Structure 1
């Protein structure tokens, strides 16, 4: 399992449905010129999401948002080079692959070391909980499955079907290759259920941390067999 510390999708993926304007809503490969907007999208999409706040709020070292956005940009640049990252409306919605190039991952992990000790502690806690669930539910076969990760839509354009369109890009490929897929989520499990995912494991973090005032943070692992028909 790729030990990415961030949450894997934006919580409010389902909202008031509005029709996209002409020319909007088309999935296309991500470009480096879109990265500034894409990193802003990621920040805005996760505002108030406890799965993200659990780690972000503990990073009290200088310039946390700048460091996090820089880390995302570096990781995603590698995915763009591999033609493995997609967007809608030039960075207003995005989905990224879970396994970056080795060198890019090394640089990204090096930036993560600038996080505060408490943030690194929480990251380790989250990784441990999620790895235990994934190992228990999938075992070694996880290496031959697609992991959905990095799905985010800017709040101004949520509810227009952008997340679903991006997910179709991944699911069409996984179905064509006959591979199952899985995702780690928080409160967005209902969105993934419409695409054929089912909950296979749950976990919590933060419940015993006296420095975290919001109670336990729920994590949900979901699985979708190849070829599962969605309900949307």
Structure 2
């Protein structure tokens, strides 16, 4: 009887970054939060600058975060280790942080005042939800920052394999995990990997310039081993 091997998860290499950038960009093209922040008529932004910003982030994250991939960037996951268990940045890391920060500032200046307002709304509401519902415990939790699979490779179990690889690390370190999901279509997927909704965050609900339903962003938590209780799950804000 033949055995079908599952997706092979490996660390993201420098040579994978160009492909990973395309995957990251393509996977989030129809993301509800991005559509909200950019608005109905988003300003075009220079593609080389966007590529430069994404390259800077992935280069830094390879050094300082858990960065894994399947098929050389066809799918990727970025996770931030618990703050209380991470070492201080090296001088090289600080240089990369400075470069990335500069590029983000340049990128941000290309947006409109309304886009800046919407981005700040999202950031403030998520920060508030994390503070209220996770508190200081968040410093001992692993954070799933990005999960992305290129459209052509979706449905093959790549995303699930990557999430399982990262949560296995969290379990081995006896750490809970959390993530912020900007697309409710992904809720069932994350539920199947042990994440439960701690809070529904409404974005755009009080913005008179947004004439569509609010975007629902979910703060989701996974207990050690994926066996969640209800201690974080208490509604909408």
Task: Please tell me the TM-score bracket, short chain as reference.
Answer: 0.7 to 0.9
- Count of residue pairs the alignment pairs up: 208
- The match for 2:43 is 60
Matches within 5 A, 1:101-112: 101-112=93-104
Deviation (angstroms), 1:110? 2.5
Q: Which structure carries more relative contact order (alpha carbon 8 Å, separation 6+)?
A: 1
Contact 1:24–1:88 (8 Å) recurs in 2: no
Residue from 134, 140, 143 that aligns with 1:147 = 143
215-224 vs 91-100, which moves further: 91-100
How far did residue 51 of structure 1 move? 1.5
Q: Distance in 2 between matches of 1:107 and 1:212?
A: 34
**Secondary structure, in 3 states, of the residue corresponding to 1:85?**
strand
Give yes or no for contact 2:8–2:71 (8 Å, CA) kept in 1: yes
Counterpart among 115, 120, 134 of residue 119 in structure 1: 115
- Partner Cα distance (2:101, 2:199) in 1: 27
**Counterpart Cα distance in 1 of 2:164 and 2:95:** 29
Larger Rg: 2
Name the structure 2 match of 1:157: 153
1:220 alignment counterpart = 218
Q: 1:105 to 1:125 in 2, by over 3 A?
A: farther
Aligned counterpart, 2:85: none
Please point out which of 77, 81, 93 is paired with 2:63: 81
2:90 is the counterpart of 1:94: no
Q: Which residue of 2 aligns with 1:15?
A: none
Query: What is the RMSD computed on CA atoms of the aligned residues?
Result: 2.4
**How far off is 1:42 after superposition?**
1.0
Closer, same or farther: CA 156–24 of 1 in aligned 2, 3 Å: farther
Distance 1:83 1:138 in 2: 21
Equivalent residue for 1:14? none
Aligned match for 1:38, one of 13, 20, 24: 20
Moved more, 100-109 or 89-98: 100-109
Gaps of 5+ in 1: 1-21
Name the residue aligned to 1:202: 200
Length-normalised TM-score, structure 1:
0.80
TM-score (norm 2): 0.79
Secondary structure in 1 matching 2:224: coil
8 Å Cα contact 1:24-1:89 kept in structure 2:
no
Rounded to whole Å, the distance in 2 between the matches of 1:215 and 1:179 is: 35
Q: Which residue of 1 aligns with 2:130?
A: 134
**Superposed CA offset, 1:166-216 (max 9, x none):** 111111110001000011112111111001111111111123334444331
